[in-house]
Amino acid sequence: MTLIIEAVVLGILTGSVYALMASGLTLIFGVMDIINIAQGILVILGAYLSYTLEKYLHIDIILGLLVTIPALFLLGMGIEWAFMRRIKRDRVMISILVTFAVALVIEGLLNFTFTANYVQLQAPYIDAAIPVFGFYLPYIYVFAFILSGVLLTLLYFLVYRTKFGFGLRASMQDRTAAALIGIDVERVQTITFGIGVALAAAGGMVFGATNPFNAASWGDLISRLLVIIVLGGMGSLRGALFASFAMLVISDVIDVVWSPIWASTVFFALLIVLLLFRPQGFFGRIEGRKQ
Amino acid sequence: MLVFSSVTISKLISTCAVVILLLATLAACSTQQNSNNVTQAGPIVIGASIANSGDFSADGKPTQQGYQLWADNINKQGGLLGRQVRLDLVNDNSTPEGVTTAYQKLINVDHVDLVVGPFADLTAVAAAKVAHRSGYALIEGSGTAVAVFQQGLDNIFSVSLSAKNYMVSFAEYILALPANMRPKTAAYSSQDDPFLVPQLDAARSLLENGGIKTVLNEKYPAETSDYTPFAQKVIASGADLVMLGTFTPDSIAYVKAFKQQHYNPKALIAASGPDQGDQFTKPIGGVKVAEGIFVPNGGWYAGINTFQNDQFQKDYIAKYGGTAADISSDTVQAYSVMQVLTQAANKIHSIDNAKLIQELRSDSFDTLQGPVKFTPDGQNSTAVAFLFQWQNGNLIPVYPQDHAQANPEFPKPPWQ
């Protein structure tokens, strides 16, 4: 029983981090019709930035977010300006190819800079743990949960309680109509892409603190993130949150009560069944944007 | 209409015949391309694919270093059979598909004289299949899984210890312990990988026959990055002895989880990871945390008295820096591949692939990893596994006795 409780607790805590990373991905898709395959490598880039700050400047990895989040925000806006803005038609398909190319370039640069050796972020609270429910709960998971909660709340207020958020949501619903009522859609898109990528910095810090990583680690990560946004509903922030918890808790519980080999199979079987009855995912829109 | 049809059919038959003749000519030409001999001018070109990106990218660079170091050395000594050597290395992205494409390019487009293996088991099989179609020998160092030798390929030659034998020394050591000290229960957790699973299966079979009860035997998918739930199950099993089928990232994750949960088995061995020096010790929190952890060794360690090892270590440090302890087993395996290739070519005075295959099947060779003698399916029948353990900040051989630098530490000390 302790094992199941531990799996549920860790599933929820880890799920919050995946929710953070997937929120960036789904936000970008919702506003721009772009599937950012590079989100996985940007998470790894965020982890490497934290690693660099911690190793060479001895800046605590959580404090380092004050540097890495703005840095990736600027990088995200740069990528949008340099590549995404140029995609005028078949945005979904072409964006997959373009962002995949961006990911490969970043992976190559990271391999060149940091070599392919595995590294992991270090901080006193990464290895420390507190006893709860008969097992030891690592502090880093608790901190990650709090961090994700704060950032996702801020994101919620940004999207639903600000003028920028109004423009963002209008762009999500209908870009042409949004432009007609005076919203600078291009600016909204650039900032949205920046926000989406900035969230990868926080996700990367937590990923790097809880997993050894190298540049190639993005492959497994992006496949998980894509599953989360499909399950939650493409473009839905609520969906990303809900699907992250669902995926991690279901997988972790099946891991411990049955077998890790079956965890993915059972999860994907459930995903297929759900998509048969709700092709739009938990919270996705039934109709696509008509433009 | 009938005449028209007859003419068309006869034209078709003629065309087919011409095409068949052309194909036969091309096939003959391609076969002749393999009939290299020492009288040809120009450098000998040796092709290989390297995992510069993807899952095995951490192993790609050291593999490349091994090949390159040998090429530099042999060229300084006047070359292979009097001809300079040039390496043609292609990125394979760590996938069997990438390897297949790479070796097709090397053989059919670049027309390399010889090919040697990529990194990993599945990719070695993919490379050997392509090489087999063109009559090339494939000597390789890292494809050692049981499945590699069950493909019916007569052109693959693995210079390293077969995977299924890696953990045998550890099992023998445990069973040699006095009955009152011997662990009673064992947990096995392995990534579902053709290199790792046979290692644990072979050891488990020995330990079960020796009376050690299996309380957990589990595999997890290779394509995962969150190992916490798997570590939880091992911890919950409470086993005295833990055997892990891991590579570097999961070995780190397990050790961190065990330490966090204050779970300290009497003996802990990981198939791979603890042998990666500071790549392993830094993430887990330093060498003190590694104290007492075992890892199998495929047949080489710094300072071992094997063929050309002294010179190899000096050359490596001169070219790449660091110390002998920093040398990756991937580099050693790649260099050993080239040592076997050199000896085989020198013995037959040729780089003809058919003759090389014949020579490799019948003769024995010396390498950094010890002597090599191939079985008909391509395994190295003479390789022996060593058992290493982290002790006082160093990874040292502790078993078998004739290679041991210290007695094994048992039971494992508490986490520090």
* pLDDT tens, residue by residue, A241-254: 999 999 889 888 88
Residue B175 identity (one-letter amino acid): L
CA A74/CA A193 separation, integer angstroms: 10
Does residue B91 belong to the interface with chain A, where contact is any CB pair within 8 Å? no
Question: pLDDT higher for B40 or A175?
Answer: A175
Is B61 part of a structural domain of the chain? yes
Asked if the structure places residue B415 within a domain, the reply is no
Nearest to A7 among B53, B232, B259 (CB): B232
B390 & B367 share domain: no
Q: Mapping DSSP to helix (H, G, I), strand (E, B) and coil, where does residue B366 land?
A: strand
User: Which parts of chain B sit beneath pLDDT 70?
Assistant: 1-41
Q: Which residue has the higher pLDDT, B52 or A79?
A: A79
Q: Does B105 touch chain A (CB under 8 A)?
A: no
Q: What is the pLDDT of residue A289?
A: 44
Domain match, B218 and B345 both = no
Is B189 in the same domain as B262?
yes
User: Is there a single domain that holds both residue B128 and residue B263?
Assistant: no
Residue pairs spanning A and B at CB distance below 8 A: 116
Measure the CA–CA gap between A237 and A239, rounded to whole angstroms. 5
Q: How far apart (Å, rounded) are the C-alpha atoms in residues A69 and A61?
A: 12
Whose structure tokens read 């993919």? B126
Q: Which of B57, B229, B256 sits opposite A116 (nearest CB)?
A: B57
Structural domain including B176 reads 167-297+385-403
**A252/B229 CB distance under 8 A:** yes
CB contact under 8 A, B285 and A127: yes
The better pLDDT of the pair B30, A149 is held by A149
In a domain, B12, yes or no: no
CATH of domain A2-277: 1.10.3470
CB-based contact A118 B233, cutoff 8 Å: no
Minimum Cα–Cα distance from B289: chain A residue: A127
DSSP state of B105: I
* Residue A286: predicted pLDDT: 56
The CA distance from B163 to B413, in Å, is 28
**Count of residues in chain B:** 416
Is A118's CB within 8 Å of B223's CB? no
B50 in any annotated domain: yes
Sign, CA torsion A153/A156/A160/A164: positive
Q: Could you count the other beta carbons within 10 Å of the beta carbon of residue A187?
A: 12
> Is B148 in the same domain as B279?
no
Residue A122: closest CA among chain B residues belongs to which residue?
B283
Is the domain of B114 the same as that of B202? no
Q: Using alpha carbons only, what angle is made at residue B334 by residues B329 and B340, rounded to the nearest 5 degrees?
A: 120
Across A221-241, average pLDDT: 89
Would an 8 Å CB–CB cutoff place B221 in contact with chain A? yes
Among A109, A111, A97, CA closest to A216: A111
Looking at the structure, do residues B178 and B275 belong to the same domain, yes or no?
yes
Q: What is the ipTM of this complex?
A: 0.73
- Based on the fold, state whether residues B284 and B395 are members of the same structural domain: yes
**Strands B394-399 and B386-391, bridge-based pairing:** antiparallel
Number of domains in chain B: 2
The answer to whether residues B95 and B189 belong to one domain is no
| Average pLDDT estimate for A145-168 | 90
Query: What is residue B11's predicted lDDT score, i.e. its pLDDT?
Result: 56
Residues B88, B145 share a domain: yes
**pLDDT band, residue A206 (cuts 50/70/90):** very high
Q: For residue B203, what is the domain's CATH number?
A: 3.40.50.2300
Over range A65-94, report the average pLDDT. 92
Q: Is residue B354 part of a domain?
A: yes
CB contact under 8 Å between B221 and A117, yes or no, is: no
- Is B239 within a domain? yes
Q: Percent of chain A at pLDDT above 70?
A: 98
For B274-281, the CB contacts below 8 A with 24+ separation are B274/B388, B274/B390, B274/B395, B275/B329, B275/B388, B275/B395, B276/A118, B276/B248, B276/B328, B277/B325, B277/B326, B277/B395, B279/A117, B279/A118, B279/B58, B279/B248, B280/B248, B280/B251, B280/B252, B281/B390
User: Other CB atoms closer than 10 Å to residue B67's CB: what's the count?
Assistant: 23
B 256-285 → A contacts, CB under 8 A: 256, 259-262, 276, 279, 282-283, 285
Would B197 be classed as within a structural domain?
yes
Whether B268 and B392 map to the same domain: the answer is yes
Q: Are residues B266 and B244 in the same domain?
A: yes
Domain membership flag for residue B410: no
B 57-86: CB under 8 A from A: 57-61
Q: How many CA atoms lie within 13 A of A30 on its CB side?
A: 33
Identify the closest residue of chain A to B261 by CA–CA distance. A136
Q: How far is A141 from chain B (nearest CA, A)?
A: 12
